[in-house]
């Protein structure tokens, strides 16, 4: 279609039983950074997020509010839609499982599985957690202090007996293990891959894929007594959004299989076991990669509603700034690990790295250019070994940053940029252009040009993480809007001597603690 390589990335669809919190923001942010990076790197990107709106939990929540489920989901889904806009996420599509296109896709997938004898009618008796919308084996349960049985997640379980359609999951254990062996990067990070393989090697039971005890869901084709199990419904969203059941043309033909499903570690089993099994059983390709990230704590404490320490993304942005929050979340911990949010850590990153390292570097250099070079890009003279070393570091950044992004190692990508930021700050101190102004103005111009060119590379490459701030930095360097993708990196896109520059302004202000009333 476009001649550009396709790249399809998805968030999980968020369950509308809840208000958006830091976990939702974190997953979508990671996808947003990858989507933005790939666009700048020449890919035809499709970035999908959305909401999961069916299931018993939603039906009960709607009843508790005295609302019908559709009105309730319309209201709550809007919160997630608005969050995407508020955090400057660049998703190309927002899917809701209550949309007609999704009902069509789910029923088409069901029909295909029936046709291939992958689904059969039986009856189910077992432990079910409404909160997780999941069934659990007796061996997975624990008994709480109140004597009630609980799922591994801590959710209460109840004994359920009802007629049910079953998916022949048990027959897909060997094909799944073969998939994990053939494609060792299918599940990441490695600790999660090992967890998934261990689960499948332990043996798989056929999976109940319909319910009759409540009605808020997608009807099973040809059997109105049943609705589809919410996870079969939810997972199908990834192919709904590329036009399934049309597979020969359009977006499915270009974008499926998905390049990356980004999920929290609590829903890995559904994405790395059930989902590829459903797809292979229907004769469809499984996704290329599933990455399960960790969870956040708040000042060292587990986040929970009962503790009242849920982190609201809107509050973070209001307190610290949007790009600052985006930077912190992907810089603070290796992606995939659990992380702790603390005010002190946030301020240290904002002031130490954004304000002092990068912000101060840009402000010093651009202010010196404004003051000493007539407010235009300086004219460089012959380059010294030190100049070419710094420029070489800046111009060589893309392969390292790209490799880290492709592994979802966002903290490594940012560290690669900061190695160059720190090198540029050391170079300024050594070259002392403020002293050269009096002794060797031509040399001063060369130093300032090399620094401006280094900042340009950092600003172009950090756009996916801090898009607004990077845009302002590139504006101040006089970089045209059509010269900000990765083809402009290197000597070919270098700043043109003599080009006028706007008056420099600070981009990353230092965080100052608000004064409290005595």
Q: Residue count of the chain, please give it.
A: 518
Whether 327 is in a domain gets the answer no
Q: What tens-digit pLDDT sequence spans the chain (518 residues)?
A: 468 999 999 999 998 877 777 778 889 999 999 999 999 999 999 999 999 999 988 999 999 999 999 999 999 999 999 989 999 999 999 999 999 999 999 999 999 999 999 999 999 888 988 888 888 888 899 998 888 899 998 889 999 888 999 999 999 999 999 999 999 999 999 999 999 999 999 999 999 999 998 899 999 999 999 999 988 999 999 999 999 999 999 999 999 999 999 998 889 999 999 999 999 999 999 999 999 987 766 776 675 666 666 678 888 899 999 999 999 999 987 776 777 788 899 999 999 999 999 999 999 999 999 999 999 999 999 999 999 999 999 999 999 999 999 999 999 999 999 999 999 999 999 999 999 999 999 999 999 999 999 999 999 999 999 999 999 999 999 999 999 999 999 999 999 999 999 999 999 999 998 875 54
Domain check: are 276 and 146 in the same one?
yes
Rounded Cα distance, 398 and 393, in Å? 10
Beta bridge partners of 370: none
Whether 32 is in a domain gets the answer yes
Residue 131's pLDDT is 85
Rounded Cα distance, 401 and 228, in Å? 42
Distance linking the first and last C-alpha atoms of the chain? 64
Distances (CA, A) of 58 to 1, 214, 269: 40, 11, 22
Distances (CA, A) of 177 to 183, 281, 282, 291, 331: 10, 15, 18, 17, 34
Residue 513's pLDDT is 87
Domain check: are 287 and 184 in the same one?
yes
Domain check: are 204 and 72 in the same one?
yes
Q: Could you say which of 275, 294, 313 is where a domain stops?
A: 294
Whether 109 is in a domain gets the answer yes
Whether 318 is in a domain gets the answer no
Strands 119-129 and 134-136: antiparallel
Instruction: Report cis status (omega within 30 of 0) of the bond before 446.
Output: no
Q: What are phi and psi of 377, to 5 degrees?
A: -60, 125
Beta bridge partners of 507: none
Domain check: are 347 and 408 in the same one?
yes
Name the token pair of 403.
Answer: 């490799």
Could you give the 3-state DSSP secondary structure of residue 262? strand
Name the token pair of 108.
Answer: 């088409």
CB 123 within 8 A of CB 161: yes
Residue 349 DSSP class: I
Beta bridge partners of 290: 187, 261
Distances (CA, A) of 44 to 7, 36, 269, 329: 6, 11, 29, 26
Domain check: are 349 and 259 in the same one?
no
Name the token pair of 142.
Answer: 């624990």
Enumerate residues 6+ apart whose C-beta is below 8 A from 45.
6, 7, 8, 9, 35, 38, 39, 92
Beta bridge partners of 150: 142, 156
Residue matched to tokens 């799944």: 176
Phi-psi group of 375: left, alpha or beta (phi > 0 → left; psi -120 to 50 → alpha; rest → beta): left
Look at residues 55, 53, 220 and name the one whose alpha carbon lies nearest to residue 134: 55
Whether 464 is in a domain gets the answer yes
Q: Which pLDDT tens digit goes with each residue over 24-38?
A: 888 999 999 999 999
How far from chain centre, in Å, is Cα 104? 27
Q: What are phi and psi of 339, to 5 degrees?
A: -135, 155
The enclosing domain of 234 has a CATH number of 3.40.50.620
Domain check: are 75 and 180 in the same one?
yes
Whether 303 is in a domain gets the answer no
Domain check: are 134 and 266 in the same one?
yes
Domain check: are 376 and 439 in the same one?
yes
Rounded Cα distance, 168 and 119, in Å? 6
Q: Which domain holds residue 251?
A: 6-294
- Calculate helix-pair angle for 313-320, 322-331, nearest 10 degrees: 110
Whether 508 is in a domain gets the answer no
Q: Cβ of 512: how many Cβ atoms within 10 Å?
A: 8
Residue 312's pLDDT is 81
Rounded Cα distance, 70 and 43, in Å? 37
Q: Could you say which of 294, 328, 356 is where a domain stops?
A: 294
Residue matched to tokens 């790395």: 272
Domain check: are 131 and 269 in the same one?
yes
Domain check: are 263 and 391 in the same one?
no
Domain check: are 282 and 348 in the same one?
no
Strand (E) or helix (H) holding 228: strand 223-228
Domain count of the chain?
2
Whether 326 is in a domain gets the answer no
Cα 516–Cα 21–Cα 310 angle in degrees, nearest 5: 50
Q: What are phi and psi of 142, to 5 degrees?
A: -125, 165
Residue matched to tokens 């403020």: 434
The enclosing domain of 372 has a CATH number of 1.10.730.10
Which contacts qualify for 75-82: CB closer than 8 Å, 24 or more apart?
A: 76/16, 76/17, 76/18, 76/19, 76/51, 77/16, 77/51, 77/53, 79/19, 79/20, 80/14, 80/16, 80/20, 80/24, 80/49, 80/50, 80/51, 81/51
Name the token pair of 191.
Answer: 């600790």
Q: DSSP letters along 302-328, please?
A: E--TTTT-PPPHHHHHHHH-HHHHHHH
Domain check: are 57 and 171 in the same one?
yes
């Amino acid at each position: 279609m476009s001649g550009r390589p396709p790249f399809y990335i998805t968030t999980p669809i968020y369950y509308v039983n809840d208000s958006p919190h830091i976990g939702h923001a974190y997953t979508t942010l990671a996808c947003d950074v990858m989507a933005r990076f790939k666009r700048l790197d020449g890919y035809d990107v499709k970035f999908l997020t959305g909401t999961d709106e069916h299931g018993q939990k939603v039906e009960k929540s709607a009843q508790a509010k005295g609302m019908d489920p559709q009105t309730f989901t319309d209201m709550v889904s809007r919160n997630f839609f608005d969050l995407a806009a508020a955090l400057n996420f660049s998703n190309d599509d927002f899917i809701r499982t209550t949309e007609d296109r999704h009902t069509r896709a789910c029923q088409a997938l069901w029909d295909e599985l029936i046709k291939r004898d992958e689904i059969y009618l039986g009856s189910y008796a077992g432990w079910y957690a409404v909160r997780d919308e999941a069934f659990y084996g007796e061996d997975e349960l624990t008994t709480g202090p109140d004597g009630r049985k609980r799922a591994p997640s801590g959710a209460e379980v109840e004994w359920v007996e009802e007629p049910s359609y079953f998916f022949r999951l048990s027959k897909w254990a060997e094909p799944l293990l073969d998939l994990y062996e053939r494609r060792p990067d299918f599940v990441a990070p490695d600790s999660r891959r090992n967890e998934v393989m261990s689960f499948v090697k332990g043996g798989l039971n056929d999976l109940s894929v319909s319910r009759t005890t409540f009605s808020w869901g997608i009807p099973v084709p040809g059997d109105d007594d049943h609705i589809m199990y919410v996870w079969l419904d939810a997972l199908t969203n990834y192919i709904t959004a590329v036009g399934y059941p049309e597979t020969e043309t359009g977006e499915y033909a270009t974008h499926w299989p998905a390049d990356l499903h980004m999920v929290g570690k609590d829903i890995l089993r559904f994405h790395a076991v059930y989902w590829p099994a459903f797809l292979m059983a229907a004769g469809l390709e499984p996704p290329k990669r599933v990455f399960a990230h960790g969870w956040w704590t708040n000042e060292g404490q587990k986040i929970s509603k009962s503790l009242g320490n849920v982190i609201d993304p809107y509050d973070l942005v209001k307190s610290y700034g949007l790009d600052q929050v985006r930077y912190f979340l992907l810089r603070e911990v290796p992606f995939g690990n659990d992380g702790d949010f603390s005010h002190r850590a946030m301020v240290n990153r904002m002031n130490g790295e954004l304000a002092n390292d990068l912000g101060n570097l840009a402000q010093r250099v651009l202010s010196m250019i404004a003051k000493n070079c007539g407010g235009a890009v300086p004219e460089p003279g012959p380059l010294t070994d030190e100049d070419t070393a710094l420029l070489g570091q800046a111009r060589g950044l893309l392969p390292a940053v790209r490799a880290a992004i492709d592994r979802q190692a966002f903290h490594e990508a940012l560290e690669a940029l900061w190695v160059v930021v720190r090198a540029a700050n050391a170079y300024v101190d050594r070259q002392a252009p403020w002293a050269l102004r009096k002794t060797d103005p031509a040399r001063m111009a060369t130093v300032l040009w090399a620094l401006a060119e280094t900042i340009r590379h950092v600003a172009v490459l950090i756009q996916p993480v801090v898009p607004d701030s990077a845009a302002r930095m590139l504006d101040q360097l006089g970089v045209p809007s059509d010269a900000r993708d990765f083809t402009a990196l290197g000597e070919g896109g270098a700043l043109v001597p003599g080009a006028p520059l706007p008056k420099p302004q600070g981009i990353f202000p230092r965080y100052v603690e608000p004064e409290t009333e005595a």
